[in-house]
Chains A and B, each alone.
Chain A
Amino acid sequence: MSAVDEAKRAERRLGWALCAPAALVMLAVTGWPILHAVWLSFQRYDLKYPDQREFVGLENYLTVLSNQYWWTAFGTTLLIVATQLVIEFVLGMALALIMHRAVIGRGLVRTASLIPYGIVTVVAAFSWRYAWTPDTGYLANLFAADGAPLTERGSALAIIVLAEVWKTTPFMALLLMTGLALVSEDLLEAAQIDGASRWQRFTKVMLPVMKPAILVAVLFRTLDAFRVFDNIVVLTDGAQDTSSVSVLAYNNLIKGLNLGIGSTMSVLIFLAVALIAFLFVKLFGAAAPGADEDGGRR
């Protein structure tokens, strides 16, 4: 064994030793609660009846997975995620292109576009709520003079999506803009000389180069959107079947004090999020962060 190998190994050991505390803290603050939730999900455990705690195996999963409230909330969540993502991607891309090409006041445009993202969601949600309440709200008076849009499922969901889009499009735009920075002017110029139209340059040159950035943006936003909570609680509090899975889990766990059922839902949400992340990385494997061009295998 050479001295160089020895030195390398020592350095690696030092590296492990240096990140061990952080890794342990991470395990303690995220790993332990997850394990605890899994453990609770196998029990009948209601804080109101502490003496009736017992191990029930998969019964809670059966209860939740055969319940229509759960599936309604699940469908609602997916609907919110899907519509929101499409709208945000289109708007975010447009915003990113504008910010990228802006010659004058680029800093100002970027800062201004980030304002919605900086406002606390609950605060923004309250102003949306008042805006859409008849009599007190300008939007309700403008668009729905005779009704109350927050009391109908369709329009309430649309408003929830709108509130989410309004808030997080800037984030999407920011991530996409980092992708735009990867597209070199030379490539675009070459494509133009070859006779590619504007649209062709966008779809055939820019989008493929931006793929990693797009994946990150879409993945982040999907995971984030799946946990939608504050806007729903403030705008409708889950009335008219507008609950998301997070709202449902909150109602069972925190309001209902049913640790068994509530933890089961939390575990199911965790699994769904993990599945989404897995599918994304598989589907867009080649573009996953840290992967090579040839299918993600190094």
Chain B
Amino acid sequence: MRVRRRGGGAVRSIAAWGAAVVAASALSACAAPRHDDVVNLYYAPEEHLQTVVDRCNDQADGRYRIVYHKLPRDADGQREQLVRRLAAQDDGMDVLGLDTTWTAEFARAGWVREWTGAERRQAEAGTLAGPLASARYGGKLFGAPKNTNVQLLWYRSDVVDRPPRTWDEMIEQARRFEAAGEPSTILIPGAQFEGYVVQFNTLLASAGGKLISDDGTRAVVDEGAVRALEQLKALADSGLTSPSMSNSQEDDVRLEFQQGDAAFQLNWPFAYPSMQEDAPDIARNVRWARYPSSDPARPSKVTLGGFNLAVSAHSPNPQASFAAALCLRSPDSQRFSAIHDGVPPTIESVYAAPEMAAEYPMRDTILEELRDPAIRPITPAYQNVSTVLSKLLSPASRIDPPRTAERIRTEVQDALDSRGVLP
């Protein structure tokens, strides 16, 4: 009897302890103890970024310790997590990896800190002008460009003798290959998403066009925009694109190119190493060239991608965070990331590093495009502008250039004013 009673008591006390432990851990999860030296980095998944983080932690010698938290893989998911936590004034995030197009939005909402003084000078030193412009808003710097990106024209050298310099020339060549029964398809990400807007922006800038006024408040859809619409439409109507063009994103395009029926692919450099691994027979003949221009008189202006490092406005550790961000995007770190993760550096001198030649055979073409790039409109409402654009441009076959331009003008203006409805 005694034994049983004691047993019951033990069970009860274990249960009570269990409840206390659960409650305590729940409480501590709400208010995680923060160490002054911890810098929480929230960044997209990048395979070898942890190595960069470890090296920075070694160099910091106890001044800070970066902890790398991986954001979701897709851009929308990354932005959502950041936005939700920043809007709730979460102080658990210090350094944020921002897609170049979000920088203005985060700055306008007051979620990230301005870069000033010595840190600003260090972030600007030797950095390419294009990526730097994408990190500015209202004349102030809000991010340190970590890596940039530009798209290239990838082609099959066993089919194409001379890479086309203009959009029309590309279509004309493809038509010839088709007649000769050779691989002829032109692959371009044309799904209703941001990546398709990137293509449009490149055509627009190459035609010398403009979508939004420089101060980011007015929709100016000019002749260049109409010309870009005509070119997208011409491609879609040519019968040379993939049937799934209007449902393809960048990775779908890469996969389809590896099937072997395509002559051209307009895509980011990530496509190159993937081809080497997945389709070595095709990769052997793959070459690259500058993205075709829309105007024969001048070379293309290609849209920049990439990431900027920003410091959260709610970070309790701004000093350590700025220092950590500078280390993560230092020339050494950028060279390491370029070689191991294939992300193009934002610091011009890094391209001259000898190791770059093997991993980055197309670096001269990339650098050439980077020196005279197109930047997507800098406005806090970029996400909304992009949602509207991708809707009105998709599918490309249904573009009616002057009419579509008119609709873009009114709906982009609504998006800039955060008034209308997003499709």
| Chain A positions near chain B (C-beta within 8 angstroms) | 44, 46-50, 63-64, 67, 69-70, 133-136, 146-148, 150-151, 236-240, 243, 248, 251-252, 254-258, 261
Contact = CB atoms under 8 A, between A and B. Distances in A.
Interface stretch (B35-43, B105-113, B334-342, B362-370): B105-113
Contacts of A69: 421-423
Contact of B76 (A47, A50, A255, A261): A255
B83 A47 contact: yes
Interface in B107-150: 108-110
Nearest to B259: A135
B421 A70 contact: yes
A186 B87 CA distance: 65
Closest A-B pairs by Cβ, 6 of them: A239-B192, A148-B244, A46-B418, A67-B421, A148-B243, A151-B246
A238 B381 CA distance: 20
Contacts of B422: 69, 248, 251-252, 255-256, 258, 261
A148 B247 contact: yes
Interface residues of B, number: 34
A62 to B, nearest CB: 11
Interface string B233-263: 0000000001111110000100110010000
Contacts of A46: 418
Given A237-B191, A258-B418, A243 B423 contact: yes
Interface of B: 76, 80, 83, 87, 105, 108-110, 191-193, 242-247, 252, 255-256, 259, 380-381, 383-384, 387, 394-395, 418-423
Contacts of B244: 133-135, 148, 150-151
A63 B247 contact: no
B380 to A, nearest CB: 5
Given A133-B247, A148-B247, A255-B387, A48 B421 contact: no
A47 B87 CA distance: 7
A48 B87 CA distance: 9
Given A63-B420, A255-B422, A146 B243 contact: yes
Contacts of B259: 135
Contacts of A148: 242-247
19 contacts: A44-B418, A46-B418, A63-B419, A63-B421, A70-B421, A133-B244, A134-B242, A134-B243, A146-B243, A148-B242, A148-B246, A148-B247, A151-B243, A151-B395, A238-B192, A239-B395, A258-B418, A261-B421, A261-B422
Contacts of A48: 105, 108-109, 380-381, 418
Given A47-B87, A237-B193, 16 more contacts: A48-B105, A48-B418, A69-B421, A135-B244, A147-B243, A150-B244, A151-B244, A151-B247, A236-B192, A236-B247, A240-B192, A248-B422, A255-B76, A255-B80, A256-B387, A256-B418
Contacts of A150: 244, 247
Most buried by B among A133, A148, A151, A256: A151
A239 B191 contact: yes
A258 B252 CA distance: 31
Contacts of B109: 47-50
Most buried by B among A64, A147, A251: A251
A248 B395 contact: no
B107 to A, nearest CB: 10
Contacts of A236: 192, 247
Contacts of A151: 243-247, 395
Contacts of A255: 76, 80, 383, 387, 422
A161 B148 CA distance: 41
A258 B384 CA distance: 10
Nearest to A65: B421
Contacts, number: 98
A148 B244 CA distance: 5
A67 B419 CA distance: 11
A148 B259 CA distance: 16
Contacts of B421: 63-64, 67, 69-70, 248, 252, 261
Most buried by A among B192, B193, B245, B422: B422
A98 B259 CA distance: 45
Nearest to A70: B421
Nearest to A145: B243
B274 to A, nearest CB: 16
Given A70-B421, A240-B394, A50 B110 contact: yes
B418 A248 contact: no
Contacts of A243: 423
B83 to A, nearest CB: 6
Given A48-B105, A134-B244, A257-B83, A251 B419 contact: no
B80 A254 contact: yes
Nearest to B196: A239
A237 B74 CA distance: 14
Nearest to B87: A47
A297 to B, nearest CB: 43
Contacts of A134: 242-244
A289 B409 CA distance: 53
B420 A67 contact: yes
A120 to B, nearest CB: 17
A136 B381 CA distance: 36
A49 B418 contact: yes
A70 B384 CA distance: 16
A239 B242 CA distance: 17
A272 B109 CA distance: 33
B255 A136 contact: yes
A46 B419 CA distance: 9
B418 A238 contact: no
Nearest to B105: A48
Contacts of B247: 133, 148, 150-151, 236, 239
A13 B422 CA distance: 51
B30 to A, nearest CB: 18
Contacts of A251: 387, 422-423
Given A48-B105, A237-B192, A239-B246, A256 B384 contact: yes
Contacts of A147: 243
Contacts of A238: 192, 423
A8 to B, nearest CB: 36
B216 to A, nearest CB: 12
Contacts of B191: 237, 239
Contacts of A237: 191-193
B132 to A, nearest CB: 23
A254 B387 CA distance: 12
B393 to A, nearest CB: 11
